[in-house]
Structure 1
Amino acid sequence: MIFTILPLILSTVFLLTNKRYRWLYILYKTLGRDIRAGIRFTFVNFYLWRYQQTRQTVPKLFTKLVSKHPNKAAFYFEDEVWTFQDVEKYSNKVAHYFKKEGFQRGDTVALLLENRPEYVCIWLGLGKIGVVTALINHNLVADPLVHSINVSSAKAVIYGASLKKGIKDICSRITNTKLYELGEQKDRTEVLDGSVDLSRQLEKQSDASPVKDLEKGVPQDRLVFIYTSGTTGLPKAAVITNMRYLFMALGLHYMTALEEDDIVYDPLPLYHSAGGIVGIGQSVVRGISVVIRRKFSASNFWNDCAKYKCTVAQYIGEICRYILLAHTKDKEVISHSVKKIIGNGLRPQIWKQFINKFNVKQVYEFYGATEGNSNLINIDSKVGAVGFIPRYATFLYPVTLIKCNEATGDPIRGSDGFCMSCKPGEVGILLGNVNAKKAINEFTGYADKKATQKKLIENVFKKGDLYFNSGDVLVQDELGYFYFKDRTGDTFRWKGENVATSEIEAVISNVVNLSDAVVYGVEIPGTEGRAGMAAIVDTTDSLDMAKLCKGLKENLPSYAIPLFVRVMTAVPLTGTFKLKKTDLQQDGFNIQKIKDKLFLYDAKNVTYVQLSNEKYDDIMSGKIRL
């Protein structure tokens, strides 16, 4: 028997270890995956080509869906059901009203509103008359809010009644911008002075389709701006054309094999591309019913999925962790129909625990920047992978990793002046080839042209080529799977949000007027992303922590407030007088290593308390969860 099996074992080992024949093993392991992906990818490209040839836009496609099934549920929201006909009529009223108000094709209107069906109706209606909607994070206040309105060149702001305080605080700084307040039927209040009561105005409008304006639209028209911090600075307004929106919505639709009778649970912010395009796009482009939730709730996640009979649910990494924490051993998981979850940031450490506990069959983890063209997706639930590209098929989808300085993220070029591709297992920066002729390779950039140029790299592999720099560090294995490693630059991700360190540093400087302050992300065991930490110079021992806390609370969204503060007599500088964030990040909040005073943010009492050895141990052990 041994003499029969031994040759087979030896030949198998030879094939696996011999580089010349290793490709046979790789092909054997990935062929099924690659065929499935190839078929789905073909569908994406076919429909993008078809829509481009027939001059389709998102509003045009939605109108066709209304004709197909007017009484089908487009959105479920709390106890409301909005049919496709309901959305069509409301969006038509928006189109007619703002055209009467004098808004023209190419103008921009900023939208500051919490999740609700009207949110989609507003940008869809404005899109019907060619007006671009800037989808602003409703958590923003003060300077970041003013910046977001101004950078989009918005001529007006539509805001929810619940957010009027934030608008009131900046009214004097946006005097040339029209204000429209949208209340809710069940909770009508007096509108802010100088604002138009949009709810009452819309009641007077026709709900007929603005056919002539609708037909003028083309795929290259700008549809919305979605804000991203990129890797540096304040939020940037990423340009989302109709074709870009279609690519993102269709890409996720076909690559995840969604069907018309699916019901998608979307608890994500609608100002983000994940919630507002990947999720909502399934309704407005493909006719699938979508559940909108006003605000994410971990304890109600599965209750909602069961209530609305959802078959698909969206997530970001932190959501999965919160859901696990909300369902302890003593809490029974309600029966649900969700078989697929789609999102990004699900940590490998909790991946299997999550799907086993909640009986989820498939995880479609994806990677992609709102404005980027280097998008990836994992279609076979490979634990930890954010996607894949067959190593023999990069010519079809030119996304690649190049070697970089891991400390700075700068590309490393060879003696010939060109960048160097990474081999399997080598960490590198992810790039996507820019080709304006193909929707999948297009980079439409930002409203700010200078910001657009900063994201592009020329002469990467040959003279004259052009690539989008994702700013993210990944690694690829020999089977073609990609794994996310880190984010370069001055941005870290926390609570599912990109946080720009320069924005926080500016607030700190204004609040306490100190010479130097540096903000960076630090890792906390058992959490996704990096928590904010500030190192502040205080040479006179006069730092007022209460004043600092108050200033941060008033000027930043909650997720951007640093959890840790390190008070120093000096911040280490490089030879060129740049702040050494890397050294500070390595120190983290290690109280056993750091001699400076350390403070921890107490969100419940809105104050900073000095970090003790006991609290440090509790954080590291997971007893205190942040």
Structure 2
Amino acid sequence: MGFFGDLKREFFTLKELLRVTREVGWIKPDSQKLTPDHLEEIVDAHLELPAFITDDRTISYAEYDAYANQVAHWALEQGLKPGDVVAVFLTNRWEYVPIWVGLSKIGVVAALLNNQITGNSLAHCLNISGANVAIIDGELTEAYASACDLIDCEMAPHVMDGAAGSGERDFDTEVAAQPSERPSREHRAGITAKEPCLKMYTSGTTGLPKAAIIAHTRTMYYLNIFASGANAGPGDRMMMVLPLYHSTGGLCGVGFGISRGGAVIVRKKFSASAFWDECVTFEATLFMYVGELCRFLLAAPETPNETRHSIRCMIGNGLRPDVWERFVDRFKMPRVMEFYGATEGNVGLVNLDSRPGAIGRIPPWLKWRFNVELVAFDLEKEVPIRDADGRCRRTEPGEVGEAVGRIDPDDTRFRFDGYQNKAENEKKILRDVFKPGDAWFRTGDLMKRDKDGYFYFIDRIGDTFRWKSENVSTNEVAEALGHYPGVQQANVYGVPVPGHNGKAGMAALVVGEGFDLDGLQSHVAEALPGYARPLFYRIQTQTDTTGTFKFRKLDLVRDGFDPANISDPLWFAEPEGSMRPLDREVHDALVSGTIRV
């Protein structure tokens, strides 16, 4: 880059980090300023400006706040009080954010459920939510019904869009009857910012999703930090095609709009063919991405509007180096702001200067201001390496290690509020890392950094892998497969597929009498969400295990889905639902992208 280029980069980094730090410095754990207080201040400053934009209407800040107030009064009418939980099971819609904001106005915590799950997974999330009241999208009543018999507690369902059935309540009618004035702040008096605002769910590595506690500090931080980094303002419009139940879309992305006087363009789902036309139609200036979304856009046919848009910055994660520069070049993207973070974690990185492939940067001269370290890692044993004194070693530039974050309960950025299940928290904490008594959050991610302080994502540790921008638990998939007649053993793992982020699911099965391959797909479709369904199957006569009867996966992962490496029968689960023998022709078509998955 050269001396003057380096100097320019460091000046930019310092200026941006100082500005961002200043703009979120007011968020303190012991403060009584909560998420609804912060958002009400923003509403009052932008009453007539658009806050949410849909196909058929624009909702002003005044209207969004009025709806949130009605939701708060509705919750009071239900007898809800501070600390109570309401399960929110909705598709993307403009009311989504005002609903959880309204609940927070009286200290009620919203548990935001993944709208792709059904059956046992959905029932599990409802059971651990602590809720006995649920708000359900009319489109999701069938999915909710699939979980009803498995719910432990008595749940009062309130359904939107006039879809309420027997035993259910009409949420829209109930809310419309409520006053639109703000409820007294006394309803949330005494709550501090370190207490829960939301619950969000993460797959983790144990099989079923875990509930992560999102305190007001983290909620406000997510709503503001990335908007600050992109210097968002009232003229910005965020194109939101990511799910609002997740922190990336529902907090970070939404924050670009409603924390800065801008607007959020709410789309029910992502369409690669319509995306750029929608960006032009709705005059989007920002969009929130995940890596797979960018791959879909690159694979779509060219359209005139893909370079006529007004987007000035794209923000997200998972944009891999092989896609980054092609995406920027084709779609004339002025700025990419890649970031790294976890819903429940305390490690955050952001790439402010658009270095291709980097997930963030910590300048060496500013390292003391951050809590992130990479520790040397034993890939075979899947644990950090410790020396004779029991201490971990920081990696050298270019060396791969696990990212960990120092836990500091007094710093908003470095707190670890963790999961609802406290036993799960200990699994994520690494102790006595560099000195006796210190505690660090384990991200479970392998990274490397270069001499200039840029960080690069390498892979996830352990059995959980990512596919279609979602975490897939091998235990949950194996359990679902194990319920199918004739499946004696199911060993599930992820395999890379050229041209795709993350890893696709593959299952090595040992089967016996009663196994019907043709019916397996129907069973899997009922038991698992689309992203968790295995793409490849390997039929074995026996499964290799360790001395403690744990499945060995290293050789299976190394073999992948290449028939040249495997003598066992292989099958490919086609998207339309049929099973196809995975021979050389099919393998080569998958590798070349002729067959899309």
TM-score range normalised by the length of the shorter chain: over 0.9
Residue of structure 1 in register with 2:532 after alignment: 560
Query: Given that residues 111 and 198 in structure 2 are in contact (C-alpha distance below 8 angstroms), is that contact kept between their aligned partners in structure 1?
Result: yes
Residue of structure 2 in register with 1:458 after alignment: 431
Look up the SS of the partner of 2:194 in the other structure: coil
Give ranges in structure 2 of 5+ residues lacking alignment.
none
Query: Given that residues 24 and 225 in structure 2 are in contact (C-alpha distance below 8 angstroms), is that contact kept between their aligned partners in structure 1?
Result: no
Instruction: Report the alpha carbon displacement of residue 30 of structure 1 after superposing the two structures with TM.
Output: 4.3
Deviations 1:433-465 (A, max 9, x none): 000000011111011111111100000000000
For 2:452 and 2:200, locate their aligned partners in 1 and report how far apart those are by CA, in whole Å.
34
Residue of structure 2 in register with 1:618 after alignment: 589
Structure-to-structure mapping, 1:430-579, within 5 angstroms: 430-512=403-485, 514-538=487-511, 540=512, 542-579=514-551
Structure-to-structure mapping, 1:338-487, within 5 angstroms: 338-487=311-460
Instruction: Report the alpha carbon displacement of residue 621 of structure 1 after superposing the two structures with TM.
Output: 1.7
Instruction: Report the alpha carbon displacement of residue 405 of structure 1 after superposing the two structures with TM.
Output: 1.1
Look up the SS of the partner of 2:367 in the other structure: coil
Query: Given that residues 161 and 181 in structure 1 are in contact (C-alpha distance below 8 angstroms), is that contact kept between their aligned partners in structure 2?
Result: no
Structure 1 residue identity aligned to 2:283: K
Residue of structure 2 in register with 1:584 after alignment: 556
Residue of structure 1 in register with 2:580 after alignment: 609
Structure 2 residue identity aligned to 1:475: K
Comparing 203-212 with 44-53, which one deviates more in the overlay? 44-53
2:130 is the counterpart of 1:153: yes
Structure 2 residue identity aligned to 1:80: R
Query: Given that residues 511 and 547 in structure 1 are in contact (C-alpha distance below 8 angstroms), is that contact kept between their aligned partners in structure 2?
Result: no
Residue of structure 2 in register with 1:21 after alignment: none
Instruction: Report the alpha carbon displacement of residue 151 of structure 1 after superposing the two structures with TM.
Output: 1.6
Residue of structure 2 in register with 1:32 after alignment: 8
For 2:472 and 2:174, locate their aligned partners in 1 and report how far apart those are by CA, in whole Å.
37
Instruction: Report the alpha carbon displacement of residue 108 of structure 1 after superposing the two structures with TM.
Output: 1.0
Query: Given that residues 402 and 444 in structure 2 are in contact (C-alpha distance below 8 angstroms), is that contact kept between their aligned partners in structure 1?
Result: yes
Look up the SS of the partner of 2:480 in the other structure: helix
For 1:135 and 1:346, locate their aligned partners in 2 and report how far apart those are by CA, in whole Å.
26
Structure 1 residue identity aligned to 2:526: E
* Larger CA Rg, structure 1 vs 2: 1
Residue of structure 2 in register with 1:57 after alignment: 34
For 2:7 and 2:210, locate their aligned partners in 1 and report how far apart those are by CA, in whole Å.
40
Comparing 450-459 with 255-264, which one deviates more in the overlay? 255-264
For 2:65 and 2:233, locate their aligned partners in 1 and report how far apart those are by CA, in whole Å.
22
For 1:258 and 1:33, locate their aligned partners in 2 and report how far apart those are by CA, in whole Å.
21
For 2:395 and 2:321, locate their aligned partners in 1 and report how far apart those are by CA, in whole Å.
23
Structure 2 residue identity aligned to 1:444: D
Deviations 1:283-324 (A, max 9, x none): 333322111111111111111111111111111000001011
| Number of equivalent positions | 595
Instruction: Report the alpha carbon displacement of residue 46 of structure 1 after superposing the two structures with TM.
Output: 3.4
2:250 is the counterpart of 1:276: yes
Look up the SS of the partner of 1:283 in the other structure: helix
Match of 2:145 among 168, 173, 182: 168
Structure 2 residue identity aligned to 1:105: P
Residues 179, 27 of structure 1: alpha-carbon distance in 2 compared, 3 angstrom cutoff: farther
Instruction: Report the alpha carbon displacement of residue 549 of structure 1 after superposing the two structures with TM.
Output: 1.3
Identity of aligned residues (%): 37
Residue of structure 2 in register with 1:17 after alignment: none
Residue of structure 1 in register with 2:262 after alignment: 288
Query: Given that residues 307 and 332 in structure 2 are in contact (C-alpha distance below 8 angstroms), is that contact kept between their aligned partners in structure 1?
Result: no
Match of 2:98 among 106, 121, 130: 121
Instruction: Provide the alpha-carbon RMSD of the alignment.
Output: 1.8
Residues 159, 194 of structure 1: alpha-carbon distance in 2 compared, 3 angstrom cutoff: same
For 2:178 and 2:385, locate their aligned partners in 1 and report how far apart those are by CA, in whole Å.
59
Deviations 1:202-238 (A, max 9, x none): 1111111002325554312211111112344211111
Instruction: Report the alpha carbon displacement of residue 331 of structure 1 after superposing the two structures with TM.
Output: 6.6
Comparing 525-534 with 284-293, which one deviates more in the overlay? 284-293
Residue of structure 1 in register with 2:113 after alignment: 136
Match of 1:229 among 171, 183, 203: 203
Residue of structure 2 in register with 1:208 after alignment: 181
Residues 30, 543 of structure 1: alpha-carbon distance in 2 compared, 3 angstrom cutoff: farther
Query: Given that residues 491 and 551 in structure 2 are in contact (C-alpha distance below 8 angstroms), is that contact kept between their aligned partners in structure 1?
Result: yes
Instruction: Report the alpha carbon displacement of residue 29 of structure 1 after superposing the two structures with TM.
Output: 5.6
For 2:436 and 2:27, locate their aligned partners in 1 and report how far apart those are by CA, in whole Å.
33
Query: Given that residues 109 and 156 in structure 1 are in contact (C-alpha distance below 8 angstroms), is that contact kept between their aligned partners in structure 2?
Result: yes
Residues 26, 177 of structure 1: alpha-carbon distance in 2 compared, 3 angstrom cutoff: farther
Query: Given that residues 359 and 456 in structure 2 are in contact (C-alpha distance below 8 angstroms), is that contact kept between their aligned partners in structure 1?
Result: yes
For 2:294 and 2:381, locate their aligned partners in 1 and report how far apart those are by CA, in whole Å.
31
Structure 2 residue identity aligned to 1:614: E
Deviations 1:29-85 (A, max 9, x none): 644334433333334443444243763212111111221121110011122211111
Instruction: Report the alpha carbon displacement of residue 390 of structure 1 after superposing the two structures with TM.
Output: 1.3
For 1:284 and 1:512, locate their aligned partners in 2 and report how far apart those are by CA, in whole Å.
50
Instruction: Report the alpha carbon displacement of residue 510 of structure 1 after superposing the two structures with TM.
Output: 1.3
- TM-score, structure 2 length as denominator? 0.96
Give ranges in structure 1 of 5+ residues lacking alignment.
1-24
